[in-house]
Amino acid sequence: MWRSGASPGGAEDLSPFQGSDVFRLLTWRSRIRLQILRRFAAEKLNKLCLQCNIETIGTNGTIIRCWAPFHFSTPLMQHSTDFIVIGSGVAGLRAAVELARHGNVVVLTKDRLDESNTEYAQGGVAVALSDDDEIGLHAEDTLNAGAGLCDEHAVRTLVEEGPRYITELIDWGAQFDREGGALAFTREAAHSRRRILHARGDSTGSEIVRALLARARREPNITFHAHAATIGLLVEDGRCAGVEYIDPNESLMRLMRSRAVVLATGGAGQIFAQTTNPEVATGDGIAMAYAAGAEVCDLEFVQFHPTVLAAPGAPRFLLSEALRGEGGRLRNDEGELFMHRYDEREELAPRDVVSRSIVAEMTRTGRHWVYLDLTHLAATYLRERFPKIHLTCLRYGLDITMDQIPVSPAAHYLMGGVRTDTRGRTTLAGLYAAGEVTCTGVHGANRLASNSLLEGLVFGARAGAAASSDAFGNTAGTNTTGEDSIELTPGDWMIDPQARYRVQDLMWRCVGLIRERKEIEGALSDLDALVDRALNRRTRNFAELARLIARAALWREESRGGHFRSDFPARDDRKWRVHSAQRREHEIRGITEISAGN
């Protein structure tokens, strides 16, 4: 059962009785429990199953690894509820509040409740509420940014319903910045009007999460499970009927059934080596939906934020679009303004244009970054308008009121995702989705700045409403022990760090801001091998999503929005004004509309 002697890579095998160093990554409670289970197994009570692939350092400094642990199986505890929401960002919380009117809701999130891409959103939320703005202008700006691939119905839904949901959020206690008692609107790149609302200057996402969490916690029908990583979707008779997840209290896999599941797992920036996204943004939801049989679309369109802190030793901290919207200028290493060479809109051009312009300028000058210059703006205004950015830069020896800030692009937002209609219905019955995990067509090939928070509110509510009205059966309030046994792996909910690094490196070098066929094909070859030898499902999902992005990037032989091919640098509306669509065991294909037939 336990292999003794030498093991691959020179690692020392560990017997079941050699202490608990190998379980360093698990909770103390789980370590004790697993040690007890191992002792039972050693006595040939093979009624349970455990496989541990965790590598660590022993007390004597040697590498210790569990290689071929004994196998035992356990009945799977099944729980049931009316609705499951996966994710606790703006889309997930808004969906949960909507669903709570119709039954019991469980919100699963793999980290803290307030840890999501929403929490880090600085730029604000775009909404046509100011006196000099119009819904039609917001729609026009969104369509222009989307480079010909926006779904006009989805865009209209977003901009027309946005004011209602922002007003509702204010009624729920969200505190947006004001001037003289009136809401204060600012302007960002590619917007024709000042329509961006902020909270505490550059902490808009954090304030929206705070307000939504407070509202959700007042709902007695909502239960939160933090640190509960969802591993897969349960599909029965062609319908999503629940989820498999890691119970954070027991470190055991559980199955939870429901009438409907809403995916709100956010984005996938961690697929790339350079990203503004938090550690949790690994694209699990897209990969799980694809594995379950749902269709995914437009994964080639990745938005790279142009101005991300590039100071040595500093994190890849996003420097908001609003900095350029308020007058920030980009300079090269010689102090020259350069954006006029690349686009007549200069610093206010769409993000994909600014990002590629920065890369071109870095290549021309042989430098690893350019500079964002705010020193011509009033120091007091900068400190008050951008307090979080100001303090973060100070921590790394940079004062935005006095210094030019080194910046370069990093992966920021995925326009593609799980295909849905405008009510959050995916192509798999019983599965709904909202927020960055989706592809509604609202962003087209390139998202307009500050539309993502509004998208989460509008489509989170709509997905919740559709899930409750379409819901099948009645499963709430039962706990049963299933007949089937499962193999439990403590590493099942952790992405293998070596595979993670390899995927990130491949995607940044070969499927990043500028792409070409030979490099993408090379990346795909390596990704195929990574998927085939993945240690567990989350690692496989991580590598699979990268492969789906690379396949779509290879398929689209043109440049459009967030997808740029150096070997096909022109936009080709005659052939490529279509969306990429991928489904398990099917070839990639082009479709003309996202929501049609869905």
Q: What is the CB neighbour count within 10 angstroms for residue 544?
A: 23
Q: d(Cα 233, Cα 241) in Å, to the nearest integer?
A: 8
The SS3 of residue 547 is helix
Closest CA to 462 of 445, 427, 438: 438
Q: d(Cα 123, Cα 188) in Å, to the nearest integer?
A: 8
Q: d(Cα 98, Cα 102) in Å, to the nearest integer?
A: 8
Q: d(Cα 134, Cα 264) in Å, to the nearest integer?
A: 29
Known catalytic membership, residue 156: no
Q: d(Cα 569, Cα 30) in Å, to the nearest integer?
A: 54
The SS3 of residue 515 is strand
Q: Which residues pair with 481 in a beta bridge?
A: 77
List phi, psi (to 5°) of 253: -80, 135
DSSP state of 113: T
How many residues does the structure list for the chain? 598
**How far are the Cα atoms of 202, 309, 364, 377 from residue 327, in angstroms, in the given order?**
16, 18, 25, 8
Residues 6+ positions from 570 with CB-CB distance below 8 Å: 558, 559
Cite the DSSP H helix spans in 452-536: 452-470, 497-510, 517-532
List phi, psi (to 5°) of 387: -65, -40
Strands, E, within 199-286: which ranges? 222-225, 230-236, 239-247, 252-257, 260-263
Q: Number of C-alpha atoms within 13 angstroms, CB side, residue 328?
A: 32
Q: Number of C-alpha atoms within 13 angstroms, CB side, residue 141?
A: 27
Q: Which helix (H) or strand (E) holds 552?
A: helix 537-555
Q: d(Cα 348, Cα 328) in Å, to the nearest integer?
A: 10
Q: d(Cα 32, Cα 420) in Å, to the nearest integer?
A: 44
Q: Which residues pair with 330 in a beta bridge?
A: 372
Secondary structure (H, E, C), 122-175 = CCCEECCCCCCCCHHHHHHHHHHHCCCCCCHHHHHHHHHHHHHHHHHHHHCCCC
Residues 6+ positions from 386 with CB-CB distance below 8 Å: 201, 202, 320, 322, 323, 400
Query: Could you say which of 259, 316, 351, 500 is catalytic?
Result: 351
Q: d(Cα 243, Cα 233) in Å, to the nearest integer?
A: 4
Name the residue with tokens 């120091």.
379
List phi, psi (to 5°) of 283: 75, 20
DSSP state of 10: G
Q: What is the CB neighbour count within 10 angstroms for residue 168?
A: 15
Catalytic residues: 351
